[in-house]
Amino acid sequence: MTDLPRSDQELALVATARRVLPGGGFGNLNSEIIIAEGKGGRVRDVSGNEYVDFLLGSGPMFIGHAHPKVVEAVQGLIARGTTFFANNEHGIRLAAAIVDAVPCAEKVRFTSSGTEADSYAMRVARAWRKRDKILKFEGGYHGMGEYSLQSLAPKRPGNFPQASADSPGIPSSVSADMLIAPFNDVEATAALIRQHADEIAGVIVEPFQRLIPPKPGFLQALREMTEKAGIPLIFDEIVTGFRFSYGGAQELYGVTPDLCTLGKIVAGGYPLAAIAGRADIMRYFDRGEVGDDVLPQVGTLSGNPIASAAGLATLEVLREPGVYDRAFATGRRLIEAFTGMIQAAGLPARIVGMPVLFDLMFLEGEVSNYRDTLRQDMDALRWFNATLRQNGVLKGDSKFYVSIAHDEADIALTLKAFQAAVDAEVAFRRG
């Protein structure tokens, strides 16, 4: 595999990163590529190499990098001050836009990250329900909090509903307050909820778990069983919010939770996230409503005006006619072409996901839960991703994030790069 040319400047930065950062990076993309700029559907590294970007900052840049409307909105505010730790017009308007767009949203509370939003969503469910335990699904990602990092990626999956911590530094007591269910399994989930209904404060789920779509009827059944038990249902829509539709996965699938979390796209590429949901649950953030039962939630940058302005500009773009049709059409073209290349080459692989969010998995058979994904050949995927980068396509370790900014030239280059990666994989397997 031939490396792309790297400048002395980039190599020097890599050396500095190795010296001052654990692992030589920020803990995000496992690559020594140093990105210098982005425009539309592409990014450029410090050495001047250009890539079609399907990483999209891990998803936020759904309308593309440096969109003119977002740039204009942000530049128009920066000279007026960066943050105030007080209400501001743009944060209020963004909260109103979320209420207008998202089916479950009656009230909104801002945070600075998805991890915070998920943590507070679980906490407010506990405050409302007066119970401690949260039920989540094996393989479901809900940020970097102690409760979220339970059975996200267990190397030795245990018996349900026992939780296992995915990280050192998490007290063993945390696992006792989490229940783990298999995603897409209605019967197993219903049995757990029946057995533990008096202990459960809330159920949190990615309506589209990582890359795995919900089976028909699964989310509807989950809604029915939680509603019957009086247990708040939380949709983690950090990824799917404003991506699957303007109203998110809950609008696409026609299932309204009690609470949801939002981030990435809604922030326009800036640090902002939110919890949204029913007013009677969200009132626990309001001392005037609940008195001493209030759930304190303070953040120095929560509702930041610059981030809120970027979010408002992004949502304005997403309300334009045909935006989602265009993104889904781009994704379908890529999936169909990729699938044809894989099948023609006879590779044991398949595309899993949705047109706007998918990836290649080196495995055969259906994928409906986390344990199915353990069959995949991760070494092959890492090799494939590296080959894509050498051919001008950047993506994360998993996921192609499709944007509305990817144009015909981007698609053509991507198809060429994917075919080159397929050919390299076939050659490697033949020895």
Same domain, 111 and 127: yes
Same domain, 131 and 262: yes
Same domain, 38 and 135: no
Q: Which residues contact 224 (CB under 8 A, 6 or more apart)?
A: none
Coil/strand/helix, residue 84: coil
CATH number of the structural domain spanning residue 235: 3.40.640.10
2 pLDDT higher than 70 = no
What are 173-227's pLDDT values in tens digits? 999 999 999 999 999 999 999 999 999 999 999 999 999 999 999 999 999 999 9
Residue 297 lies in a domain: yes
Q: Is 3 a catalytic residue?
A: no
Neighbours of 419 (CB within 10 A): 17
321 pLDDT higher than 60 = yes
Same domain, 86 and 231: yes
What are 234-284's pLDDT values in tens digits? 999 999 999 999 999 999 999 999 999 999 999 999 999 999 999 999 999
232 pLDDT higher than 70 = yes
Query: Structural domain tally of the chain?
Result: 2
1 pLDDT higher than 60 = no
30 pLDDT higher than 80 = no
pLDDT given for residue 4 in this prediction: 86
CATH number of the structural domain spanning residue 366: 3.90.1150.10
Residue 290 is encoded by which pair of tokens?
Answer: 């609940």
Same domain, 267 and 375: no
Same domain, 155 and 231: yes
**What percent of the chain stands above pLDDT 90?**
94
What are 363-414's pLDDT values in tens digits? 999 999 999 999 999 999 999 999 999 999 999 999 999 999 999 999 999 9
- CA separation for the pair 61, 410 (Å, rounded): 15
Same domain, 329 and 209: no
Catalytic residue (choose from 51, 120, 141, 284)? 141
Average pLDDT, the chain: 96
pLDDT given for residue 156 in this prediction: 79
Indicate the residue among 318, 339, 361 that finishes a domain: 318
Compute CA distances 197 → 226, 254, 257, 259, 408, whole Å.
9, 25, 17, 18, 52
- CA separation for the pair 16, 120 (Å, rounded): 36
Q: Is 284 a catalytic residue?
A: no
- CA separation for the pair 52, 178 (Å, rounded): 40
Same domain, 269 and 120: yes
Q: Which residues contact 82 (CB under 8 A, 6 or more apart)?
A: 304, 305, 306
Tell me which residue range forms the domain holding 233. 68-318
Of residues 166 and 71, more confidence is placed in: 71
Give the pLDDT band of residue 83 (cuts 50, 70, 90): very high
Indicate the residue among 301, 318, 335 that finishes a domain: 318
Catalytic residue (choose from 133, 264, 395, 399)? 264
Residue 2 lies in a domain: no
Same domain, 54 and 181: no
Catalytic residue (choose from 53, 118, 177, 236)? 236
Same domain, 180 and 36: no
Same domain, 257 and 277: yes
pLDDT given for residue 157 in this prediction: 80
Sheet containing 35-39: give its strands across: 35-39, 42-45, 50-53, 393-394
Q: Is 228 a catalytic residue?
A: no
Same domain, 12 and 153: no
